Structure 1
Amino acid sequence: MTAPRKLGFDTLQIHAGAKPDPATGARQVPIYQTTAYVFRDADHAAKLFNLQEVGYIYSRLTNPTVSALAERVAALEGGAGAICCSSGHAAQIMALFPLMGPGCNVVASTRLYGGTIQQFSNTIRKFGWSAKFVDTDDLAALEAAVDDNTRAIFVESIANPGGYITDLDAVAAVADKVGLPLIVDNTTATPYLTRPIEHGATLVVHSATKYLTGNGTVTGGIVVDSGKFDWSASGKFPSLAAPEPAYHGLNFHAALGGMAFTFHSIAVGLRDLGMTMNPQGAHYTLMGIETLSLRMERHVANAKKVAAWLEADPRVDFVTYAGLASSPWHDRMARICPKGAGALFTFAVKGGYDACVKLVDGLELFSHVANLGDTRSLIIHPASTTHRQLPPEKLAGAGAAPNVVRLSIGIEDADDLIADLDQALAKATA
Structure 2
Amino acid sequence: MSAAWGFDTRQVHAGAIVDAEAGARITPIYQSAGYVFDDFDDGEERFAGRSARRAYSRNDNPTNVVAARRIADLEGGVDGVLVASGQAAIAAALGALAQAGDHILTTDRLYEGTREMARGALRRMGLELEAVPIDADEDAWAAAVGPETRAIYAESIANPLGEVADLDLLGRVSKRTGVPLVVDNTVATPYLCRPFEHGAAVVIHSTSKWLSGHGSVIGGAIVDGGTFDWDAAAARFPHLHAPRPHGAPSFAERYGAAAYAAYLRAVVVLEHGPSFPPTSAFLLLHGIETLSLRMERHVANARVVAEALTRHPAVARVHYPGSDDDPRRAVVARMLPRGVGSIVSIDLGTRDAAHAFLDRLRLVSQMTHIGDVRTLAIHTGSTIHGKLDEAERLALGITPGLVRISVGIEEAQDIVDDLLQALDVLAPRSAAECDAVLQPEVH
TM-score, L = length of structure 1: 0.95
- The one-letter amino acid paired with 1:367 is S
In structure 2, what is the Cα distance between the partners aligned to 1:59 and 1:165? Answer: 37
Q: Aligned pair 1:321/2:320, yes or no?
A: yes
Shift of residue 49 of structure 1? 3.0
Change (3 A) 1:5 1:151: closer
Note if contact 1:20-1:27 (Cα within 8 Å) is conserved in structure 2.
Answer: yes
Local SS of the residue matching 2:377: strand
Aligned to 1:285: 284
In structure 2, what is the Cα distance between the partners aligned to 1:396 and 1:17? Answer: 45
Identity %: 43
In structure 2, what is the Cα distance between the partners aligned to 1:43 and 1:292? Answer: 43
Note if contact 2:11-2:289 (Cα within 8 Å) is conserved in structure 1.
Answer: yes
Change (3 A) 1:423 1:239: same
- The one-letter amino acid paired with 1:108 is T
Note if contact 2:17-2:66 (Cα within 8 Å) is conserved in structure 1.
Answer: no
In structure 1, what is the Cα distance between the partners aligned to 2:394 and 2:141? Answer: 20
- Provide Cα deviations, 1:19-72, integer angstroms capped at 9, x if missing partner: 221110111111111101011223333333343432221000210000111110
Note if contact 1:197-1:226 (Cα within 8 Å) is conserved in structure 2.
Answer: yes
In structure 2, what is the Cα distance between the partners aligned to 1:41 and 1:120? Answer: 45
More displaced stretch, 96-105 vs 186-195: 96-105
Aligned to 1:257: 256
Note if contact 1:161-1:399 (Cα within 8 Å) is conserved in structure 2.
Answer: no
In structure 2, what is the Cα distance between the partners aligned to 1:183 and 1:244? Answer: 26
Change (3 A) 1:417 1:248: farther
Question: How many positions carry a matched residue from both structures?
Answer: 426
- Provide Cα deviations, 1:244-294, integer angstroms capped at 9, x if missing partner: 57x877521122211211111111111110011010011100000000000
Shift of residue 331 of structure 1? 2.5
In structure 2, what is the Cα distance between the partners aligned to 1:403 and 1:178? Answer: 41
In structure 2, what is the Cα distance between the partners aligned to 1:121 and 1:4? Answer: 43
Q: Aligned pair 1:170/2:169, yes or no?
A: yes
- The one-letter amino acid paired with 1:287 is H
In structure 2, what is the Cα distance between the partners aligned to 1:209 and 1:51? Answer: 31
What are the equivalent positions in structure 2 for 1:341-356 lying under 5 Å apart? 341-350=340-349, 352-356=350-354
In structure 1, what is the Cα distance between the partners aligned to 2:143 and 2:391? Answer: 22
- The one-letter amino acid paired with 2:141 is L
Which residues of structure 1 form unaligned runs of 5+? Answer: none
Aligned to 1:192: 191
Which residues of structure 2 form unaligned runs of 5+? Answer: 429-443
In structure 2, what is the Cα distance between the partners aligned to 1:249 and 1:16? Answer: 30
Shift of residue 96 of structure 1? 0.8
Shift of residue 134 of structure 1? 1.3
Change (3 A) 1:188 1:50: same
Runs of at least 4 residues off by over 4 Å: 247-250
Aligned to 2:24: 26
Aligned to 1:298: 297
Change (3 A) 1:8 1:304: same
Q: Aligned pair 1:390/2:388, yes or no?
A: yes
Shift of residue 198 of structure 1? 0.6
- The one-letter amino acid paired with 1:193 is L
TM-score, L = length of structure 2: 0.92
- Provide Cα deviations, 1:205-237, integer angstroms capped at 9, x if missing partner: 000000000000010000000111122323011
In structure 1, what is the Cα distance between the partners aligned to 2:237 and 2:18? Answer: 39
In structure 2, what is the Cα distance between the partners aligned to 1:128 and 1:416? Answer: 49
- Provide Cα deviations, 1:285-308, integer angstroms capped at 9, x if missing partner: 000000000000000000000001
- Provide Cα deviations, 1:175-220, integer angstroms capped at 9, x if missing partner: 2211100000000000000000011100000000000000000100
Q: Aligned pair 1:123/2:125, yes or no?
A: no
Paired residue for 2:421, among 420, 423, 426?
A: 423
Aligned to 2:208: 209
Change (3 A) 1:263 1:396: same
Shift of residue 397 of structure 1? 4.0
Shift of residue 368 of structure 1? 1.1
Aligned to 2:224: 225
Aligned to 1:237: 237
- Provide Cα deviations, 1:314-364, integer angstroms capped at 9, x if missing partner: 2111111114344333332221111100001211114x1211121111111
Q: Aligned pair 1:364/2:362, yes or no?
A: yes
More displaced stretch, 63-72 vs 141-150: 141-150
